[in-house]
C-alpha cells in the first residue's frame, strides 16, 4: 500500500514540548524608590519653586517618586498639569508632601512646617543665617533630620553655584529696575540710562565688587551708563575688572570721596555682602540728603539689613518710598521677581545632586566622597555639624567627616 506511514504522536514531540509549561512573566529589576517632596512656598516674597517640570522627568526616570503640593509652581508659571505630565503626583494635602524622604524648598521651612516633618528625613533648603534661631535648630536635631543649606553647597571648583547664579540674576535685575524707576511716570528724573548722541548717560555708583556688582556693571555698561565702583577689597576689584574685560573707574570706600560721587549720581546700587550678620552701613542719611532729587537708591543688601542708613524693607506691592527727595527701592529677594528664570536656575543645580543621591543608594557614601555636598550639611541625624552655628547657639559641634567615618 502506497499511503504515508503514520508515526506515533509522541515521536513528533519531545517530552518537554508535549507537556504544558508554566507561564512566566518578565519582571523588571526592583529599584529602591525615594520619595521627593516639593511643597508650595508660604513666604510672601517667595515666588520660586525648587524643581521645574523638565527636571521632574529626569528625577522620575532615575527612580524618584515625586510629590508636588498643588499650586507650588503657579507663581513661576508652571501649572499642576505640566508637573503631572512630567510624572509628578499632585497632592492637595500639604502634610503628605512633608512626609517625603527628601524635601526640597527655596525658602527655609517655618517652625510649623518642621513639625510636619518625619524622623530621619533629608532637607535641602536655604539656611538664611541672619534669621535662623535656636528653636529651628532644636527641631531639626530632635527629628534627626539631615539638613543641607543650598547656599553652602559647593561645586568641584570650590564655588557656590546657588549663590552665584542668584547673584547674577540680582545684578542684571537691579539695573533694569533702575531704568524703570528713572522714568518720569515712576517719579524719577526722566532719564534714559544710556543717554543718546549729544546727551550724557546716567551716572551709576555701585557699592561692592562681588558677583551682584559684576553683573550690574556688565548690564550698566551694556546700556551705556557711566559707572563708578567702590569696595575695600582690592582683589575683588581686580577680579571684577578682569571679568568685565575693560578698565573701570574704581575706588576704595573713602567716605569723603564716596559722598562727593553720590551728589552727582543718578543711580546708586548697594551690593555689599556680609558673611555673618548685618551688612555694614556705608551711606549715611546725611549723604543721602545731599543727593539729587529724583535719583534712585537700590539696596540689594536689604536681605542683611541694608547698607544705606535710610533703607527700610519694602514689598512688591509697594516697592518704593521717597526720603530726602531720593527714591528708595528696598525689596528683598530680588531673584524671586523673575521667578521662572530663577526656578530653572535652581532646578538645574539641585537636580544633578538628587540624581547622585539616588545612584549612590547611600547618603553617607555620597557625602564622604563629595566635599562640596558635605560642606552644605549643617545637621546630620541628631548632631550639629556647622561650627558657626555651634558657636552662635552654644551647642556641641560634631565634625561631620569623623561622623561619616564611623558609620560607613
How far apart, in whole angstroms, are the C-alpha atoms of residue 18 and residue 5?
21
How far apart, in whole angstroms, are the C-alpha atoms of residue 270 and residue 284?
12
Residue 372 belongs to some domain of the structure: yes
Q: Does residue 393 share a domain with residue 250? A: no
The catalytic residue among 92, 128, 247, 276 is 128
pLDDT at 213: 96
Q: Does residue 248 share a domain with residue 177? A: yes
Q: Are 357 and 365 in contact (CB under 8 A)?
A: no
Q: Does residue 155 share a domain with residue 71? A: yes
Block residue for cell numbers 543718546: 196
Where does the pLDDT of residue 159 fall: very low under 50, low under 70, confident under 90, or very high at 90 and above?
Answer: confident
What is the residue range of 395's domain?
35-159+338-407
DSSP of 74-134: GGGT--HHHHHHHTPEEES-HHHHTTSSEEE-SSPPPHHHHHHPPTT-EEEE---GGG--H
Query: What CATH number is attached to the domain comprising 311?
Result: 3.40.50.720
Q: Does residue 133 share a domain with residue 172? A: no
pLDDT at 20: 56
Q: Does residue 212 share a domain with residue 323? A: yes
Q: How many structural domains does the chain have?
A: 2
Q: Does residue 324 share a domain with residue 361? A: no
How far apart, in whole angstroms, are the C-alpha atoms of residue 178 and residue 223?
12
Q: What is the pLDDT of residues 356-369, one digit of tens each?
A: 999 887 788 888 88
Residue 250 belongs to some domain of the structure: yes
Block residue for cell numbers 542684571: 172
C-alpha cell at 46: 517667595
Q: Is the pLDDT of residue 273 over 90?
A: no
What is the average per-residue pLDDT within 158-180? 94
Q: Are 213 and 171 in contact (CB under 8 A)?
A: yes
Q: Does residue 321 share a domain with residue 365? A: no
**Lowest-confidence segment of 6-15, 99-108, 184-193 by average pLDDT:** 6-15
Residue 8 belongs to some domain of the structure: no
Q: Is the pLDDT of residue 24 over 50?
A: no
Residue 2 belongs to some domain of the structure: no
Q: Does residue 224 share a domain with residue 100? A: no
Neighbours of 11 (CB within 10 A): 7
Q: How far is CA 324 from the centre of its chain?
A: 35
Q: Is the pLDDT of residue 263 over 80?
A: yes
Q: Is 128 a catalytic residue?
A: yes
C-alpha cell at 19: 507537556
pLDDT at 408: 57
pLDDT at 173: 96
**Lowest-confidence segment of 19-28, 33-42, 50-59, 203-212 by average pLDDT:** 19-28
Q: What is the pLDDT of residues 314-331, one digit of tens each?
A: 988 899 999 999 999 999
Secondary structure class of 296 (helix, strand, coil): strand
Q: Is the pLDDT of residue 389 over 80?
A: yes
Q: Does residue 312 share a domain with residue 204? A: yes
Percentage of the chain beyond pLDDT 70 is 91
Q: What is the pLDDT of residues 45-76, one digit of tens each?
A: 899 999 999 999 999 999 999 999 999 999 99
Secondary structure class of 41 (helix, strand, coil): coil
Burial class of residue 35, CB neighbours in 10 A (0-12, 13-18, 19+): middle
DSSP letter assigned to residue 325: T
How far apart, in whole angstroms, are the C-alpha atoms of residue 300 and residue 270?
6
Where does the pLDDT of residue 293 fall: very low under 50, low under 70, confident under 90, or very high at 90 and above?
Answer: very high
Residue 5 belongs to some domain of the structure: no
Q: Is the pLDDT of residue 141 over 50?
A: yes
User: Of the candidates 330, 347, 368, which is a domain's last residue?
Assistant: 330
Q: Is the pLDDT of residue 44 over 50?
A: yes
**Lowest-confidence segment of 144-148, 199-203, 274-278, 300-304 by average pLDDT:** 274-278
**Lowest-confidence segment of 19-23, 49-53, 87-91, 212-216 by average pLDDT:** 19-23
Average pLDDT, the chain: 89
pLDDT at 303: 84
Q: Does residue 296 share a domain with residue 233? A: yes
Q: Does residue 86 share a domain with residue 169? A: no
Residue 21 belongs to some domain of the structure: no
Residue 359 belongs to some domain of the structure: yes
Q: Is the pLDDT of residue 276 over 70?
A: no
Nearest to 231 by CA among 219, 244, 246, 249: 249
Phi-psi region of 217 (alpha: psi -120 to 50; beta: other; left: phi over 0): alpha
Nearest to 401 by CA among 393, 389, 390, 387: 387
User: Of the candidates 268, 303, 330, which is a domain's last residue?
Assistant: 330
Q: What is the pTM of this model?
A: 0.86
User: Of the candidates 282, 312, 330, which is a domain's last residue?
Assistant: 330
Q: Is the pLDDT of residue 29 over 80?
A: no
Q: Does residue 309 share a domain with residue 172? A: yes
Where does the pLDDT of residue 132 fall: very low under 50, low under 70, confident under 90, or very high at 90 and above?
Answer: confident
Q: Are 263 and 291 in contact (CB under 8 A)?
A: yes
Nearest to 205 by CA among 286, 271, 106: 271
Which strand (E) or helix (H) includes residue 37?
strand 35-38
Q: Is the pLDDT of residue 14 over 90?
A: no
Q: What is the pLDDT of residues 337-354, one digit of tens each?
A: 999 999 999 999 999 999
Q: Is the pLDDT of residue 79 over 70?
A: yes
Helix/strand number for the chain, H first, E second:
16, 15
Residue 16 belongs to some domain of the structure: no
Amino acid at each position: 500500500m502506497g499511503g504515508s506511514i503514520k508515526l506515533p504522536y509522541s515521536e513528533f514531540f519531545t517530552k518537554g514540548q508535549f507537556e504544558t509549561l508554566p507561564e512566566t512573566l518578565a519582571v523588571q529589576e526592583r529599584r529602591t524608590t525615594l520619595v521627593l517632596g516639593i511643597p508650595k512656598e508660604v513666604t510672601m516674597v517667595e515666588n520660586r519653586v525648587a524643581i521645574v517640570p523638565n527636571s521632574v522627568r529626569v528625577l522620575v526616570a532615575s527612580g524618584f517618586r515625586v510629590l508636588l503640593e498643588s499650586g507650588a509652581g503657579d507663581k513661576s508659571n508652571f501649572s499642576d498639569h505640566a508637573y503631572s505630565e512630567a510624572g509628578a503626583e499632585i497632592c492637595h494635602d500639604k502634610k503628605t508632601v512633608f512626609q517625603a524622604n527628601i524635601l526640597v524648598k527655596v525658602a527655609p521651612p517655618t517652625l510649623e512646617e518642621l513639625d510636619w516633618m518625619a524622623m530621619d528625613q533629608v532637607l535641602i533648603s536655604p539656611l538664611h543665617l541672619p534669621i535662623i534661631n535656636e528653636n529651628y535648630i532644636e527641631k531639626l536635631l530632635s527629628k534627626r533630620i539631615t539638613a543641607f543649606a543650598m547656599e553652602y553647597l559647593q561645586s568641584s571648583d570650590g564655588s557656590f553655584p546657588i549663590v552665584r547664579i542668584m547673584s547674577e540674576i540680582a545684578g542684571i535685575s537691579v539695573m533694569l529696575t533702575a531704568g524703570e524707576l528713572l522714568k518720569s511716570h515712576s517719579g524719577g528724573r526722566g532719564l534714559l540710562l544710556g543717554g543718546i548722541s549729544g546727551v550724557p548717560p546716567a551716572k551709576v555708583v555701585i557699592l561692592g565688587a562681588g558677583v551682584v556688582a559684576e553683573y550690574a556693571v556688565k548690564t550698566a555698561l551694556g546700556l551705556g551708563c557711566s559707572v563708578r565702583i567702590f569696595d575695600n577689597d582690592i582683589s575683588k576689584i581686580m577680579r571684577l575688572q578682569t571679568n568685565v574685560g575693560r578698565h573701570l573707574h574704581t575706588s576704595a570706600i573713602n567716605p569723603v570721596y564716596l559722598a562727593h560721587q553720590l551728589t552727582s549720581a543718578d543711580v546708586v546700587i548697594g551690593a555689599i555682602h556680609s558673611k555673618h550678620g548685618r551688612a555694614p552701613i556705608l551711606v549715611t542719611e546725611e549723604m543721602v540728603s545731599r543727593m539729587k532729587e529724583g535719583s534712585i537708591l537700590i539696596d540689594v543688601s536689604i536681605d542683611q539689613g541694608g547698607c544705606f542708613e535710610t533703607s527700610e524693607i519694602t514689598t512688591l506691592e509697594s516697592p518704593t518710598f521717597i526720603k530726602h527727595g531720593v527714591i528708595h527701592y528696598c525689596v528683598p529677594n530680588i531673584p524671586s521677581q523673575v521667578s521662572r528664570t530663577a526656578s530653572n536656575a535652581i532646578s538645574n543645580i539641585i537636580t544633578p545632586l538628587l540624581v547622585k543621591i539616588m545612584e549612590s543608594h547611600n547618603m553617607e557614601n555620597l557625602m564622604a566622597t563629595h566635599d562640596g555636598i558635605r560642606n552644605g550639611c549643617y545637621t546630620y541625624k541628631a548632631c550639629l555639624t556647622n561650627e558657626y552655628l555651634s558657636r552662635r547657639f552654644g551647642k556641641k559641634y560634631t565634625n561631620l567627616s569623623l561622623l561619616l567615618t564611623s558609620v560607613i
